[in-house]
Copies of this chain bind each other. A is one copy, B any other.
Amino acid sequence: MEGLWPRGCPLPCLSCTRRYNCSMFDFRIESASSEPGCQARRGSLQTPHGTIETPVFMPVGTRAALRALTPDQVLATGAQIVLANTYHLALQPGSAIVARLGGLHAFMAMPLPILTDSGGFQVFSLPKKQIDEQGVTFKWKKGGEAFLLTPERAVAIQEELGADIIMAFDECVPYPCPRDYAERALARTLRWEKRCLEAKTRDDQALFGIVQGSTYEDLRQQSARDLVPLDFPGYAIGGLSVGEGLEVMNRVLSWTTPELPEHKPRYLMGVGLPEDLWCGVGHGVDMFDCVIPTRHARGAVLYTFQGRIRVTNRRFKKDRLPPDTTCPCYTCQHFSRAYLHHLFTAEEVTGTALACIHNITFLQELMARIRQAISDDRFEAAKREFFEVYGSSSGPQRKAK
């Protein structure tokens, strides 16, 4: 398929409805599944800091660092793009300091593309906040000054941070969510997303829109249909992976992705369990992020193609095998489960670093296998094969659809 926008566009990018330099963010679909009911597709997304092969999993470096890892170690996992969180970075060290230090890429010495969220999800998770049409008022710290986060402010902060892909500021609703609240929040989200587009001043960042609508079919569809004419360079699906479970996520995706333009990248926010990744890709999603691999790593939970293991389990105390015998990562190439067991038991933080390296590499390997399966037009078969081995492990697995 061809890239979307003709080169040599006559309008200055910020005057154009798209408000970004589309030649910097070319998205191409290279192959798509022909299997019945399967929308999996493989593609590539260009960014100012390099091209990403999709479907892609993006590890999360909340505070401009991936837990215990240096950028060199992140690169070695095969990660193609990383996430950082606007809320946390606006709080500490502040986006002005990051801008002064040359933006996030320079600040954290990260050569890969970066995506920042809008801070919306974190702000709406706060116990005390006030929401009105203008934005959300909250306090960074107990007893601290009140801060008003608006769509304009969320965009300004993300422009100071300087990621390649930035996200619209949306109203995130809890799960489950009453219909009337979901409806009101959705209407406001649409107005806020328009304001984000208006507020944008940098043409070297792509602002993605976010589809909301909780678990209501018509609201999800309406959200997508409202956003598509705004011509965002990509569309995220928000409000999932908040405790609704794989069945509900599966349903919501089945209503949503068919409404999104085929030639733009789709990003399922907060999703990273292998079963959810297969599900999302099957619905035509191209991008995923999740703190799970790094958070689980801290808790000694390692992902392998044979299932999840908790390496602190006594049965690994003398185990000479690497976490995953098929894994090419630094951890699996050098260390035994017994050594990792020891590090976690002794509370040595090197254990967290090694587990993070492994878990991030695992998800990169998984996505590479998924991309290959799409190229080979055998996504559904590859998915079955994966779960035959992965799902038979003793770990607490959720059933795949």
When the two chains form their complex, are residues A350 and B107 in contact, meaning their CB atoms are under 8 A apart?
A: no
| B residues near A65, Cβ cutoff 8 Å | 343, 346, 348, 350-351
When the two chains form their complex, are residues B100 and A318 in contact, meaning their CB atoms are under 8 A apart?
A: yes
Interface size on A, residues (CB 8 A): 42
Q: Which residue of B67, B92, B339, B346 contacts A350 across the interface (Cβ within 8 Å)?
A: B67
**With an 8 A cutoff between CB atoms, is A72 at the interface?**
yes
Q: A318-B97, A338-B93, A345-B93 are in contact. Are A350 and B88 (CB under 8 A)?
A: no
Q: Which residue of B88, B93, B350 contacts A68 across the interface (Cβ within 8 Å)?
A: B350
When the two chains form their complex, are residues B70 and A345 in contact, meaning their CB atoms are under 8 A apart?
A: no
When the two chains form their complex, are residues B338 and A66 in contact, meaning their CB atoms are under 8 A apart?
A: no
**With an 8 A cutoff between CB atoms, is A168 at the interface?**
no
A63, A100, A352: residue with the most chain B Cβ atoms closer than 10 Å: A63
**With an 8 A cutoff between CB atoms, is A181 at the interface?**
no
A2 to chain B, nearest CB (A): 39
Q: List 17 A-B contacts (CB under 8 A).
A: A63-B342, A63-B343, A65-B346, A65-B351, A66-B350, A68-B68, A70-B330, A70-B357, A92-B342, A97-B342, A100-B318, A101-B338, A107-B338, A107-B339, A107-B342, A109-B335, A349-B352
Q: A70-B350, A345-B92, A353-B70 are in contact. Are A101 and B336 (CB under 8 A)?
A: yes
Q: Please give me the 8 A-B residue pairs with the lowest Cβ-Cβ distance, nearest first.
A: A65-B350, A109-B334, A93-B342, A63-B346, A65-B348, A68-B349, A92-B346, A63-B348
Least CB separation from A67: chain B residue: B349
Q: Which residues A69-87 have CB closer than 8 A to chain B?
A: 69-73
Least CB separation from A350: chain B residue: B65
**With an 8 A cutoff between CB atoms, is A341 at the interface?**
yes
Q: Which residue of B69, B330, B352 contacts A72 across the interface (Cβ within 8 Å)?
A: B330
When the two chains form their complex, are residues B101 and A350 in contact, meaning their CB atoms are under 8 A apart?
A: no
A214 to B208, CA, bound (A): 69
When the two chains form their complex, are residues B345 and A101 in contact, meaning their CB atoms are under 8 A apart?
A: no
Least CB separation from A339: chain B residue: B107
Q: Which residues A279-320 have CB closer than 8 A to chain B?
A: 317-318, 320
A83 to B80, CA, bound (A): 37
A41 to chain B, nearest CB (A): 35
Extra A-B contacts (17), CB below 8 Å, given A65-B346, A93-B341: A63-B346, A64-B342, A64-B343, A72-B330, A92-B342, A93-B317, A93-B345, A97-B317, A97-B318, A97-B338, A101-B318, A101-B339, A107-B338, A109-B334, A109-B339, A349-B349, A349-B352
A299 to chain B, nearest CB (A): 14
Least CB separation from A66: chain B residue: B350
| B residues near A107, Cβ cutoff 8 Å | 336, 338-339, 342
**With an 8 A cutoff between CB atoms, is A354 at the interface?**
yes
| B residues near A317, Cβ cutoff 8 Å | 93, 97
Least CB separation from A74: chain B residue: B350
A72 to chain B, nearest CB (A): 7
How does the 8 Å CB contact mask read for A348-367 relative to B, with 1 for contact and 0 for none? 11111110010000000000
When the two chains form their complex, are residues B69 and A350 in contact, meaning their CB atoms are under 8 A apart?
A: yes
Q: Which residues A13-71 have CB closer than 8 A to chain B?
A: 63-71
A112 to chain B, nearest CB (A): 14
| B residues near A73, Cβ cutoff 8 Å | 70
**With an 8 A cutoff between CB atoms, is A108 at the interface?**
yes
A72 to B334, CA, bound (A): 10
A330 to B73, CA, bound (A): 12
| B residues near A348, Cβ cutoff 8 Å | 63, 65, 67
| B residues near A335, Cβ cutoff 8 Å | 109
